[in-house]
Amino acid sequence: MFYSEIKQQVKIHNRRSFLLLLGKFGLFSMVGWRLFDIQILQSKKYKTLSTNNQINFEILYPLRGEILDRNNIVIASNKNTYDLFLIPEQTHNIEQTLNKLNELLEE
């Protein structure tokens, strides 16, 4: 009698362990499939989204008036200045771009 009860408890324990193992395997397979789907199958979509999600800085210079002394003589005035920034990620060939800029600035 005692042996049959132990055997039945072991059988129930083995069944529960097997069901838990199937549950874990199912969860890990769903997570693994989702990772594969995002990283391999939909990689183009997410590369495009990440490229469009970059921050672009634009410097906005303030407009200032002229500074005059008490005799209305200009001490400081506005002067147009230009800045040029080269962003390597947005340039196909840096050396070729620099050569082209050099040609344009020499003219």
pLDDT of residue 62: 78
Other C-beta atoms lying within 10 Å of the C-beta of residue 97: 14
pLDDT of residue 27: 97
CA 17 to chain centre: 42
Percent share of the chain, pLDDT over 90: 37
* DSSP single-letter state for residue 71: T
pLDDT in tens, 78-93: 888 788 888 888 888 9
